[in-house]
Amino acid sequence: MALLTAAKVGHQFGGLCAVADFNLELHHGDLMAVIGPNGAGKTTVFNLITGVYRATEGSICFKGTELVGKNPNQIAALHIGRTFQNIRLFRDLSVLDNVRIAHHAQINYTPLEGLLHLGRYRREEQRIIDNSRLLLAIFKLEHLAGETAKNLPYGLQRRLEIARALAISPELLLLDEPAAGMNPNEIDQLMALIQWIRQEFKLTILLIEHQMKLVMGICERIKVLDFGVTLAEGPPKMIQNHPKVLEAYLGEIPDG
Amino acid sequence: MIALMREQWDLLLENRWLVPILLVIGFGLAFAIPEYNLLSVYVQLILMYAGINIILAVSLNLVNGYMGEFSLAHAGFMAVGAYTAVLLTMKVFPVAGFPFLFPCAVFAGGLAAALLGIIVAIPSFKVRGDYLAIITLAFLMIVKSLIENIDFIGGPRGISGIMKLTTLPWVFFWTVALVWMVRNFIYSKYGRGVLSIREDEIASDLMSVNTRHVKFFAFMLSSFCAGIAGALFAHLLQFISPRIFDITKSTDILIMVYLGGIASIGGSILGATLFTVLLELLRPSTMAALLSWLPSFVFEPLNEHFISHLGVWRMVIMPLALILVMLYWPRGIMGLREFRGFIPRRDREAHHYINPQGEEPDGATDRR
Amino acid sequence: MSDEVVYWLQQTLNALQLGSIYALIALGYTMVYGILTMINFAHGDVFMIGAFFCFLLSSMLGLTFAPTLLLTMLGTALLGVVIERLAYKPLRQAPRVSAIITALGVGLFLENFTLALSPYPKHIPMLLENVTWNLHGISLSSIQAVIISLSLGLMLLLDYIVHRTSIGMAMRAISWDKTYVPLMGIPVDLIISITFAIGAGLAGAAGTMYALAYPVIDPYMGITVGWKAFICAVVGGIGNIRGAMVGAFILGGVEIMVVAFFPSTYRDFVAFTLLMLLIVIRPYGILGKPRIQKV
Ligand SMILES: Nc1ncnc2c1ncn2[C@@H]1O[C@H](COP(=O)(O)OP(=O)(O)O)[C@@H](O)[C@H]1O
Ligand SMILES: [Mg+2]
């Protein structure tokens, strides 16, 4: 059974049709990329899945649950994690707190227990701290736990965003241009990291990326959007030689 | 010199015994002072007002500092708590025979205020920044106007002849209990939710924070505290009227919060205490009593030309002092820091204001 | 004309008078907000100072209406510039709330300073001959006529300045973008000073007119009127100059209508309940545009 199914999803901003007739089927363990020129509607697709916008048409099902109409936090609590094209960390909070906050839906205590620091409070907080530290250690950020997020260098901020997304224990992880602003060396590291967390956390990953090296290197399937419309979908080899895709990119042809 | 003072201040902030020791001393004094008449009635009164103001400032800081909203409604919640408790002690509870009913009345005042907190909490799901500030302002005006129009509770004239039930031990108890609760709330998943909303509400929502719940509880807790403070205040002043709880009162609490520093419990405690004490010190009678040890050839002219005019001018000096503090210390006294004793052990490393040289939190500044 | 129509026209006239005064003050809030995204909470007290200037000029110096109005506007404009330079300018890089709290402090200072110098309410002498014309049962006093026409004139002038002159263009540019506009040779400090001068000058005009209509003035009169004018600015869409005018006439209208139908003590209750609902329904004000949050 498919993990995520999007059927005939469409979205308009006022008169502008950002996404039209979008169909997607993701199975457990897939690693898929969405590519397309700027303004093609890729981020909008992520926003529709995660509930930032409500799809004007169509339906999105995650493990049999309809996502259209749910709040972002309800969708996140179903274990769909994401990062952002422009980093959106909690800039003035510590690195550790950034990761702890994303555990919100998994912390089991009532407001009263929180108010009195009684009951499950202690155990739950300790569990969350331990888990957060573990995640930071995986991303080699442990020594920076007390640092304010905005003081991290750009590359580490990107890493922290992935760590934070993993804190909601996602089954589906959406990465929005994770390699933006990285040099080839860093991209190699990122590719290794993505493949590693995919194994380790048994993730299904959908990512948006302009860096063809990354897309062609690790993704099994690619979907090409342009002006909100799906141009093509298939394995990297097929996309690379697809006439419509070449036309849309016009010179921006992948070198890999 | 200044560097040395700063060092001492840092040590004080980091001192692990400061808060517990102050608590123990406070506890002892709160009972000993009224019992053995250690301090004059006037000083006791100031201590009680300071306690009430601490409750108000700490709870307003939850919304204005930690959540980054700008609420002007605190005086309105105070009014609700005050009127509810006063009606109970005057008309319903036979408090004279059963003193334990007083805390019940105070608690009821807090509950009533918390209930009305929903009126502000629900719009806050949708409306933020300056527009939410207007909603809180409108709430305050509505409460005041409603009270003015209900004859049963004295209308614009208010209620006088309230029993003086607020005592130093009670104020101490409520202050400690409420500050403790607010602190617990801040260092729980809800408090982290509040902070994340201030930083980036959309990201917070996408990271599974139930922003509505978090805002709801934060507003409820904040208004609950304000209600309790109002109830204590009413039974101390022994007179309430809608004019007491107008925008000026809210402004006073705002000043305490920002004077002490946003997003800091210790800051609010310092801000409230300083505000209360300074305002009292600037009274002509207090100042005269304080300086009476001076030789008379110094005291007499001082008294004639300066002290005796303070009654009018202290309200001019106070805002000037505030402006100066803001110009030289835009982040207030504490500047986003916190006393070690207020931070749970588990949270110390993650505490986000470790870095004293850091910049302003954008979340609290660029919000609009 | 039927009694009904006469009644409504009369109420409209009253609403216009109240709305004009609110509008002149609301403009100051909204202009400063537009350019600095700062809520100048001392603005209501500048309005109060305007009324006191008017008192000084008319009763102490015995000036007539026109010079009183002009000098008052000049005086408050100067006050506005001084406040900005001394109290707000040093805080431009500081957290937004620091400036707001400083503004509250400046407001308190102005109130209590005035109170210290003048402990009792003051009576303003009659500056204008009070004639009441009667048109088919609608009464219009000369004071009302002056207030409404002068305010409308000032608002048109402001609208012209903001939308048709180079200073206005600079103002709009700064409120549009604060990072790059200063790099384009626009003298930001000067434009901000001019904005404060205009806003405070309009508040001075409002103070004079308020004193005409309600000739007893006291140092705390700026609080309620000021907060209400602020609400007008927000209701219209803060930062939007035409919005401030719309908001002011709406609030003026609502207040007058409430008094017409309910006991006058319910004015604030009904007016503020309506405002609260309006903001919940249209959180960005009537003429304001919702801010698009791109994710
Ligand atoms: N909140 C919004 N309001 C209006 N238009 C939007 C909004 N978000 C995105 N758009 C528009 O939708 C189109 C697709 O945007 P987006 O999904 O961000 O593209 P990309 O493929 O580069 O991620 C663009 O034309 C963009 O301007
Ligand atoms: Mg994008």
DSSP characters over B228-266 = HHHHHHHHHHSEE-GGGGSHHHHHHHHHHHHHH-TT-HH
Which chains have 3+ CB pairs within 8 A of B?
A, C
- Under DSSP, is residue C21 helix (H, G, I), strand (E, B) or coil? helix
Could you tell me which of A81, A45, A44, A106 has the C-alpha nearest to residue A165? A81
What residue numbers bound the domain in which B196 lies?
28-246
pLDDT class of B352 with cuts at 50, 70, 90 = low
Q: How high is the pLDDT of residue C265? A: 85
Name the β-bridge partners of A66.
A61
The pLDDT of residue B315 is: 86
| Residue B350: predicted pLDDT | 73
Residues of B in contact with A151 (CB under 8 A): 355, 358
Are both A26 and A146 inside the same structural domain?
A: no
The reply to whether residue C115 touches residue B315, judged by beta carbons under 8 angstroms, is yes
A103 and A145: one domain?
Answer: yes
Judge if A156 and A191 occupy the same domain: no
Tell me, yes or no, whether A31 lies in a domain.
yes
CA angle B260, B265, B271 (to 5 degrees): 25
CB B335 within 8 A of CB B260: no
End-to-end CA distance of chain A: 33
Best mutation site among A12, A13, A231 for ligand 1, i.e. most ligand atoms within 8 A of its Cβ? A13
Coil vs helix vs strand at C65: helix
Domain presence at residue B122? yes
- A13: Cβ below 6 Å to ligand 1? yes
Which ligand is in closest contact with the Cα of A224?
1
Q: Is residue B134 part of a domain?
A: yes
Q: Which tokens in the block code for residue B247?
A: 């925008």
* Distance of alpha carbon B64 from alpha carbon C279, whole angstroms: 20
When the pLDDT of each residue in chain B is averaged and rounded to a whole number, the result is: 89
Atom 7 in ligand 1: residue holding the nearest Cα: C294
Does residue C95 belong to the interface with chain A, where contact is any CB pair within 8 Å?
no
- Angstroms from B367 CA to nearest CA on chain A: 13
Across B55-192, the runs of DSSP E, i.e. the strands, are 159-160
pLDDT of residue B356: 41
pLDDT for res B95? 80
Last residue of a domain, one of A164, A185, A207: A164
Same domain, A110 and A150: yes
Q: How many CB pairs under 8 A join A and B?
A: 132
A40 lines ligand 1 (CB under 6 A): yes
How many distinct structural domains can be found in chain A? 2
Question: Could you list the mean pLDDT of each consecutive 10-residue stretch along chain C, which spans 295 residues?
Answer: 84 92 95 89 96 94 93 97 96 85 93 92 87 85 93 94 92 85 87 96 96 92 91 88 93 90 86 86 84 75
Tokens read off for A219: 């993704």
* B357 occurs within a structural domain: no
- Residue nearest (by alpha carbon) to ligand 1 atom 2: C294
Domain assignment of residue A130, yes or no = yes
Stretch B107-113: mean pLDDT:
98
Domain holding A18: CATH number? Answer: 3.40.50.300
- Bridge pairing between strands A172-176 and B159-160: unpaired
Based on the domain organization, do A250 and A176 belong to the same domain? yes
Mean per-residue pLDDT for A232-236?
A: 92
Asked whether A18 lines ligand 1 (CB < 6 A), one says yes
Reply yes or no on whether the pLDDT at B355 is more than 80: no
pLDDT for the residue numbered A251:
54
| Residue closest by Cα to atom 27 of ligand 1 | A39
Does the beta carbon of C295 lie under 8 angstroms from any beta carbon of chain A?
A: yes
Could you tell me the end-to-end alpha-carbon distance of chain C, in angstroms, rounded to an integer?
58
- Mutant choice from C85, C118, C276 vs B, greatest count of B C-beta within 10 A: C276
The pLDDT of B2-12, averaged and rounded, is 84
Question: Are A123 and A225 within one domain?
Answer: no
pLDDT at B150 over 60: yes
Domains identified in chain B, total number: 1
A63 and A108: one domain?
A: no
Ligand 1 touching residue A44 (CB < 6 A): yes
Within a domain: B55: yes
CB contact under 8 A, B209 and A114: no
| Interface predicted TM-score of the whole assembly (ipTM), two decimals | 0.93
Taking only the tens place, the pLDDT of each residue in B195-214 is 999 999 999 999 999 999 99
- Proximal ligand: closest to the CA of A86: 2
B217 and A CB contact within 8 Å: yes
Q: Are residues A179 and A256 in the same domain?
A: yes
The percent of residues in chain A predicted with pLDDT above 70, rounded, is 97
A86 in any annotated domain: no
Q: Which residues contact A21 (CB under 8 A, 6 or more apart)?
A: A8, A9, A10, A58, A229, A230
The ligand minimizing its distance to the Cα of A225 is 1
In a domain, B164, yes or no: yes
Half-sphere exposure of C120 (CA within 13 A, CB side): 3
* Residue A20 domain-assigned (yes or no): yes
* Domain membership of residue A107 as a residue range: 94-164
Reported as a single tens digit per residue, the pLDDT across A177-219 is 999 988 999 999 999 999 999 999 999 999 999 998 999 999 9
Ligand 1 nearest atom to the CA of residue A40, by list position: 21
Is position A138 within any domain?
Answer: yes
Give the per-residue pLDDT at A250.
57
Is A43 close to ligand 1, i.e. is its CB under 6 Å away? Answer: yes
In a domain, A89, yes or no: no
**Tens digit of each residue's pLDDT (9 = 90 or more) over B50-91:** 999 999 999 999 999 999 999 999 999 999 999 999 999 998
pLDDT average, residue stretch B276-303: 86
Task: State which of A104, A134, A164 marks the end of a domain.
Answer: A164
Per-residue pLDDT band for B12 (boundaries 50, 70, 90) equals: confident
In a domain, B322, yes or no: no
Q: Is the pLDDT of residue B302 over 60?
A: yes
Which residues of chain C lie closer than 8 angstroms to B130, CB-CB? 33, 39, 234, 238
Does ligand 1 come within 6 angstroms of the Cβ of C292? yes
The 10 Å Cβ neighbour count of residue B324 is: 13
* Domain annotation covers residue A200: yes
Query: What is the per-residue pLDDT for C42?
Result: 95
Residue B171 domain-assigned (yes or no): yes
What is the mean predicted confidence (pLDDT) over A164-176? 97
Is the C-beta atom of C294 inside 6 A of ligand 1? yes
* Assigned domain for B199 exists: yes
Answer yes or no: do A2 and A69 share one domain: yes
